[in-house]
Amino acid sequence: MSETLANLLHETRQFPPPGALADQANVTANVYGAASADRLGFWERQANRLHWHKRWDEVLDWSNPPFAKWFVGGQLNVAYNCLDRHVEAGRGDKIAYHWEGEPGDTRTITYADLHREVCRAANALTDLGITAGERVAIYMPMIPELPVAMLACARIGATHSVVFGGFSADALKGRIQDQDATLVITADGGFRRGAPSALKPTVDEAVAQCPTVRNVLVVRRTGQDVAWQDGRDLWWHDTVDPASAEHTAQPFDSEHPLYILYTSGTTAKPKGILHTTGGYLTQVAWTHHAVFDLKPDTDIFWCTADIGWVTGHSYIVYGPLANGATQVMYEGTPDTPHRGRFWELVEKYRITILYTAPTAIRTFAKWGDDIPAQFDLSSLRLLGSVGEPINPEAWMWYREHIGGDRCPIVDTWWQTETGAIMISPLPGVTICKPGSAMRPLPGITADIVDDTGTSVPNGGGGYLVIRDPWPAMLRTIWGDDQRYVDTYWSRFDGLYFPGDGAKRDADGDLWLLGRVDDVMLVSGHNISTTEVESALVSHPKVAESAVVGATDPTTGQAIVAFVILRGAAEGDEALVQELRDHVAKTLGPIAKPRQIMLVPELPKTRSGKIMRRLLRDVAENRSMGDVTTLQDSSVMDLISAGLKVGASTED
């Protein structure tokens, strides 16, 4: 990481926890010392928050690193922990989900309702021949049947693999084939941006090349006409709804496979990240309780992610349900039918805890401060950020315009592979700095090291690593133990390397800089794209930015920035030069972009991630690669059409 770009670490704004929240917080400061003194004892205490059919014999088996086993010999059932125990304790009438469809249709689902539906689905899957250890692929919109399907699999010990509903037939096919799935659960379609979006045709195309699939179970959501293969295809309402609502959850070993979730790799083949049962549920339940300060009797929690991503697995399904939370689950997009849709839902359901992505926050800021101001957001008491580093100005906008200058923000770092939050403020304890994820959570030993694996001092930067195993960690890459070792454990001896760069400020607080792949080498200086993007967004006329490195004959790589302006800001050559100078003043002359391109939008996937690969194609005048995973492929045409301003602004 660049030693010259220290400005990002000199954030002087600090926000202590609100006094009332700190007084009633679920977790207090002494937890850090207790976890440090006895890390395994700490995680054992968190496991005790769950119901175990059989207690473990050993907390951690690390005799064959990097292959961990947690709570060895213990037995539990995930669905029982998420549903049965709440119903048996007399909380069956408590609302589990307020579900809102994009067209405005709603469902209120209690824990007793959810328990009945999961039992019916578990019986239906068993009747279809699904047994413990079989893999079930799930390709669905954000409807209640999605968590029902996941929990039904967990209940009978089948391993589910949710595939995001925006993926292509080829992507779905590859994931089904890699895991030899025998059942696919899908829907005719879902609603997106005001119109039905078909899913069944994609499944038909994929399954045609997947001989292991015996059945396709289809939820009727949109009422679209669908092709039908008798003997293979089954309607959910004909198969699940008539099934018995009586089902006894059987315990499974703590290391029984719970789910496989695929994430992109450096090769064409995605990585099937395997998570197991006891350790995973322990950590997602505790982090949901601690990081969000959840009060299940009074809080309304909304994680805006899609369940097709790990955020939805851990903080829409397993963590919140294990804690008996009441949640909001939304099918659609934040701008349908209007750009105030999210804030309308906050007002309607009196949401108290909101967990969303920096990309969404920057988009809301771009749309204008006046939109959230039209809604009553006074119910909010805590805000969360997830998915990528959040720049300080987006953090401040979130706090001011959504949190009313009163809500603490938990900026969380974790990934598909870690399973649960690893680095985050604790809202009743931490004095937060805008843009910093602050410290590793209790029980997590994260560090920043240099090229040799040596810890860097305060004020230094390098590579983020995890020194000790943690309960929710991935166990392997499905079917490829060697790839697991090579991908995550080979860069530094004995250390887990997630691929991210980070800095530690003078106080020892952590600043995540994104993937090390997104570090540019400019005239021998390592410069993070995150640092330059943060500098650009700190300018009052900039709403959002994305930065890439482009080949340069003089400097090796040059910085190219794509910038979206706020509201009514006018773009011209003078503003472009002003922005370049602003970056140089903020970070130093070495970070001055060679080019700044003013664009109307950025290329994003449906999960909200910016596809910098496509921006590199533009920056280097290459033909563009695959755009099928974009939320809106026409964005690239808009970018190409808008490159006149700032296309050649060099000193």
| pLDDT of 425 | 98
- DSSP string spanning 73-137? T-EE-HHIIIIIHHIIIIITTSEEEEEE-TTS-EEEEEHHHHHHHHHHHHHHHHHTT--TT-EEE
Local structure of residue 599 (DSSP, 8 states)? -
Q: What are phi and psi of 184, to 5 degrees?
A: -120, 130
Contact partners, residue 622, CB within 8 Å, separation at least 6: 616
Per-residue pLDDT tens over the stretch 233-261: 999 999 999 999 999 999 999 999 999 99
pLDDT for residue 427 is more than 80: yes
| pLDDT of 242 | 98
Q: What are phi and psi of 253, to 5 degrees?
A: -60, 145
| pLDDT of 649 | 44
Q: From CA 360, how far away is CA 374, in angstroms rounded?
A: 18
pLDDT for residue 281 is more than 50: yes
| pLDDT of 556 | 75
| pLDDT of 638 | 67
Tokens matching residue 616: 């590199």
**H helix runs in 189-263, sequence order:** 200-207, 236-239
| pLDDT of 5 | 45
Q: For each of the domains in the chain, give its residue range(s) and CATH number, in order of start.
A: 1-77+277-516 (3.40.50.12780), 108-250 (3.40.50.980), 523-641 (3.30.300.30)
Q: What's the mean pLDDT in 587-591?
A: 81
Question: How does residue 3 score in pLDDT terms, banded at 50, 70 and 90?
Answer: very low
pLDDT for residue 163 is more than 90: yes
Mean pLDDT lowest among 221-230, 325-334, 551-560: 551-560
Question: How does residue 645 score in pLDDT terms, banded at 50, 70 and 90?
Answer: very low
| pLDDT of 268 | 55
Q: Which of residues 519 and 471 earns the better pLDDT score?
A: 471
Q: What's the mean pLDDT in 341-355?
A: 98
| pLDDT of 2 | 44
Q: From CA 348, how far away is CA 342, in angstroms rounded?
A: 10
| pLDDT of 642 | 55
Local structure of residue 432 (DSSP, 8 states)? B
Q: What are phi and psi of 536, to 5 degrees?
A: -65, -45
Q: What's the mean pLDDT in 603-619?
A: 78
pLDDT for residue 628 is more than 60: no
Q: Which of residues 615 and 339 earns the better pLDDT score?
A: 339
Percentage of residues in the chain having pLDDT higher than 90: 76
pLDDT for residue 166 is more than 90: no
Mean pLDDT lowest among 19-33, 189-203, 491-505, 541-555: 541-555
| pLDDT of 298 | 98
Question: How does residue 4 score in pLDDT terms, banded at 50, 70 and 90?
Answer: very low
Question: How does residue 38 score in pLDDT terms, banded at 50, 70 and 90?
Answer: very high
| pLDDT of 613 | 79
pLDDT for residue 632 is more than 70: no
Q: Give the strand pairing for 525-528 and 519-522.
A: antiparallel
Question: How does residue 602 score in pLDDT terms, banded at 50, 70 and 90?
Answer: confident
Please, what is the average pLDDT of the chain? Answer: 91
